[in-house]
Structure 1
Amino acid sequence: MSLILLAGDAFVRNDLLADELRRAVGAAMPATGLEFRTLELPWPHVPFGPVAEVDEASDVEDELLALIDGVEVIVTQMAPVTSRVLDAAPSLRLVVCTRGGPVNVNVGDCTKRGVLVCNTPGRNAVAAAEHAVTLILSTVRAIPRIHGTVAAGQWRSDLYAYDECGLELGGSTVGLVGYGAIGRRVARILRAFDATVLVADPFVDAAALDPGVELVELEELLSRSDVVSLHARLTPQTAGMIDAEALATMRPGGYLVNSARGGLVDYDALAAALDSGHLAGAGFDVFPAEPPAPDWPLLRSDRVVMTPHLAGATRQTAHRAASLAGASVAAFLAGDRPPGLVNPDALR
């Protein structure tokens, strides 16, 4: 009998996790029994943050410590798997983090202790790609601003004026910075709109591109694109990559959309590009600080479309995360290398 701690929340819920683990383990190992302990985390009703040495976690170290004795597997999205927690968990052998990056887990300490850590890559690729395209459309057609005029009782037929009109994606050029699981799906959707799609990604070979997608250097992408959409990872090399110089390279009247990571963009430079009229609009789901300060200037811009880091928030994402977690746990219990393993050096 394997003791598993499910530390779900109001998005990836414990009932979803339990159902998927029973299904996956039962299919792979029908005779294997599972015993669950559960802890319901307060996220998203209570924001995550840094906890001890980990980040983007719910502050529930003490609650974890009360439940960790004898636990072999933890499945969670937001629980802080810190050194303090690991010290109290000598039976722990596997942590499954139901997100793309296990920033709430001290992976280095887990590796030293022989504790495997798995993530669930691609769990929100569909949701994030669809949200990115929604942001693009909402930005180039100024949907929130125009909605506000109707809601205010105005009938702005003057918005038909040429200078007030937005762009069609059909026939426009859209540049995607990053061509991973999300960027590739965005490209396919944009091609269905009959847009020209450019990609800048130093880790992608041109032969791996879908038909109709062109690989170019970042500077060329910026200069040729009517819309630039960011899908890159945040690394020391990509931090601040869309700075004043990059924005100046973009086409006059262009649009920037960021649904990847706030740290990719110099938002002060973006505000200046919008104020000067060099850019016509911007849309983003991610911010330099989350939540942004109430006096942040871009909050007051009527040429900016914003959502609060919700690109991956669909019910299907939650189910997919639970399903991927179930596959990792089933493989581990069967003695196989679990999918999504991020610290293979912990294998012994």
Structure 2
Amino acid sequence: MRILAAGDHFVAPDLFARELAAVLGEDHGHTVAPLTLPWPLTPFGPVSEVDEASGDEDTMIDALGDAEVCLTQMGPVTAKVLASAPSLRLVVVGRGGPVNVNLEAAEEHGVRVCNTPGRNAAATAEYTVAMMLAAMRRVPETSAALASGRWAGEFYTYENCGPGLDGATVGLVGCGAVGSRVARALTAFGARVLVYDPYADAATLRDTGASAVSTLDELLRASDVVSLHARLTAETRGLLGARELALLPDGAVVVNCARGALLDEDALCDGLESGRLAGAALDVFAVEPPPADSRLRTAPRLVMTPHLAGANTAVAHNAARIAAAEVGRYLRGEPLAHRVV
């Protein structure tokens, strides 16, 4: 059987190959064909009808050939690609949401699609807390001042030193694999954690030590810090706009390490520029990278990083290992653990 390992510069093809060998045995006898896509050195984006993809359709078609299985993170698996790969029977996407796959077309062509849920949950949760603290404790500003040769003693004044997590109320929008980990970490810091997630089960909420609220508005009115952990859907796009941000107490901090389009960036800039918001931390953006004329580039008290929350070496290994395990189940005729189509 031929397997396409359509990796990139994070989850490389040889990492997929090594995990396949660990699952199937070094002498498994299957052909593993490598393809290296340009992400993250080139940002992902829409390709034809799918989102957050890397590379192009013709490259994927040529690489697939008669492959029966495809492992990838970002490869565009569009209707055109699926129609051009009649031997393909399984696509495993090494990420939580297979948005780079046309699921309807896959179903029409009899191609099963799996994802790798939770592979970056710990990394993203760690990064979220780090971004929260960086924004609250003014880490970027003070580091930049010292690097420039200035001892910024004014950041020890009451007006400039920033708030802490101990005793703060932090509102989490979403309590899935990432949000629940963030909740547990914040509880350990001494924060009071509120969660708005109409889909979270009671057992998960109990485990986090957080308290559930019934509406987003209730969460926002009570939160010194709000952090987004929802998936981007038609329902959640623009979830925090000008109206919602206005519900936050004066001096609140906004954190988004989920998806950029959850947040109205202009409304956020308004809040930062007016001084009503004490700070914000963004790892994701509506357009990546933000355009040269984006207001985000000049907004005060804003920490920005280039979509790195889910990037550590353990995540790459997790993605490849979970994906390889699905291939093992497929070959043994067992039910797939993370099938979405």
Shorter-chain TM band:
over 0.9
Structure 2 Cα separation of the partners of residues 295 and 7 of structure 1: 34
Structure 1 Cα separation of the partners of residues 202 and 76 of structure 2: 40
Structure 1 Cα separation of the partners of residues 63 and 164 of structure 2: 55
Partner of 1:266: 264
Is 1:181 the counterpart of 2:177? The answer is yes
Higher relative CO (Cα under 8 Å, sequence separation at least 6) belongs to 1
Moved more, 129-138 or 257-266: 257-266
Partner of 1:346: none
Amino acid at match of 1:39: L
Is 1:154 the counterpart of 2:153? The answer is no
Moved more, 82-91 or 330-339: 82-91
Amino acid at match of 2:283: D
Contact 2:6 2:34 in 1 (8 A): yes
| RMSD between superposed Cα atoms in Å | 1.5
Is 1:215 the counterpart of 2:215? The answer is no
Per-residue CA distance 1:162-218 (angstroms, 9 max, x = gap): 111111211111111100000000011111111111101111244431253100132
Amino acid at match of 2:264: D
Aligned with 1:312 (options 300, 310, 313): 310
Structure 1 Cα separation of the partners of residues 20 and 333 of structure 2: 16
Contact 1:206 1:214 in 2 (8 A): no
| Number of equivalent positions | 339
Structure 2 Cα separation of the partners of residues 255 and 172 of structure 1: 11
Moved more, 58-67 or 141-150: 58-67
Show the 5 A alignment for 1:1-348: 2-26=1-25, 32-209=28-205, 210=207, 212-216=209-213, 217-343=215-341
TM superposition shift of 1:224? 1.3
Sort the Cα spacing of 1:55 and 1:205 in 2 relative to 1 into closer, same or farther, 3 A. closer
Structure 1 Cα separation of the partners of residues 203 and 82 of structure 2: 44
Per-residue CA distance 1:36-61 (angstroms, 9 max, x = gap): 11112122222222222222222332
Contact 1:41 1:60 in 2 (8 A): no
Amino acid at match of 2:316: A
Structure 2 Cα separation of the partners of residues 122 and 102 of structure 1: 13
Structure 2 Cα separation of the partners of residues 275 and 53 of structure 1: 37
Contact 2:273 2:300 in 1 (8 A): no
Contact 1:133 1:186 in 2 (8 A): yes
Which 4+ stretches in 1 moved above 3 angstroms? Answer: 205-208
Amino acid at match of 2:17: A
Amino acid at match of 2:128: A
Structure 1 Cα separation of the partners of residues 218 and 42 of structure 2: 43
Identity over aligned pairs, percent: 53
Calculate the TM-score normalised by the size of structure 1.
Answer: 0.94
Structure 2 Cα separation of the partners of residues 228 and 65 of structure 1: 43
Structure 1 unaligned residues grouped into runs of 5+: 344-348
Structure 2 Cα separation of the partners of residues 59 and 194 of structure 1: 45
Sort the Cα spacing of 1:59 and 1:306 in 2 relative to 1 into closer, same or farther, 3 A. same
Contact 1:145 1:302 in 2 (8 A): no
